[in-house]
């Protein structure tokens, strides 16, 4: 198989396309998170931190420690915002949707207490007749 055909087969795989889409969407989402942190979170943080401190200019000899501290602080704030918004908020919304859809489609068998579809006429576990 020629190098061209191998490369064409590699590119045609779904994983490569999925990865490319994820990188593009991740870059765009990174801009949204950055704007949220710069425009909303950092002004709120400025109320808590004392003003006038030039901690990003701190040095230790020729080492620019303040730049590292600033990048670390920004990373922690962005990570916290992503955690709170995506993991907690969206996770709770997804749980509520799953619980609402599961509650509508299932019921508990009164004989064996197993979960069965709401429209079932017999329990698939104990075969008892279900009242509708």
Amino acid 104: pLDDT: 65
Residue 132 has pLDDT above 70, yes or no: no
**Mean pLDDT value across the chain:** 83
Q: Would you state the pLDDT for residue 24?
A: 92
Alpha carbons 57 and 39: distance in angstroms, whole number:
22
> How large is the average pLDDT for residues 45-65?
82
Alpha carbons 40 and 32: distance in angstroms, whole number:
12
- The pLDDT score that the predictor gives to residue 102 is 61
The confidence band for 20, taking pLDDT boundaries of 50, 70 and 90, is: confident
With a pLDDT cut of 90, the percent of the chain lying above it is 4
Model pLDDT for residues 26-38, shown as the tens digit of each residue: 899 888 888 888 8
Are β-strands 106-108 and 115-117 bridged in parallel, bridged antiparallel, or unpaired? antiparallel
CA dist., res. 65 & res. 100, Å (int): 51
**Contact of 69 with 58, CB cutoff 8 Å:** yes
């Amino acid at each position: 198989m020629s190098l061209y055909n191998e490369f064409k087969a590699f590119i045609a795989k779904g994983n490569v396309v999925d990865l490319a889409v994820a990188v593009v969407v991740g870059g765009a989402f990174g801009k949204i998170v950055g704007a949220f942190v710069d425009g909303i979170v950092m002004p709120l943080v400025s109320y808590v931190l004392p003003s006038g401190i030039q901690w990003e200019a701190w040095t230790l000899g020729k080492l620019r420690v303040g730049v590292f501290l600033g990048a670390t602080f920004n990373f922690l704030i962005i990570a916290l915002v992503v955690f709170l918004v995506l993991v907690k908020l969206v996770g709770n919304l997804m749980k509520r949707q799953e619980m609402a859809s599961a509650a509508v489609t299932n019921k508990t068998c009164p004989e064996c207490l197993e979960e069965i579809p709401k429209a079932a006429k017999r329990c698939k576990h104990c075969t008892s007749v279900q009242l509708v």
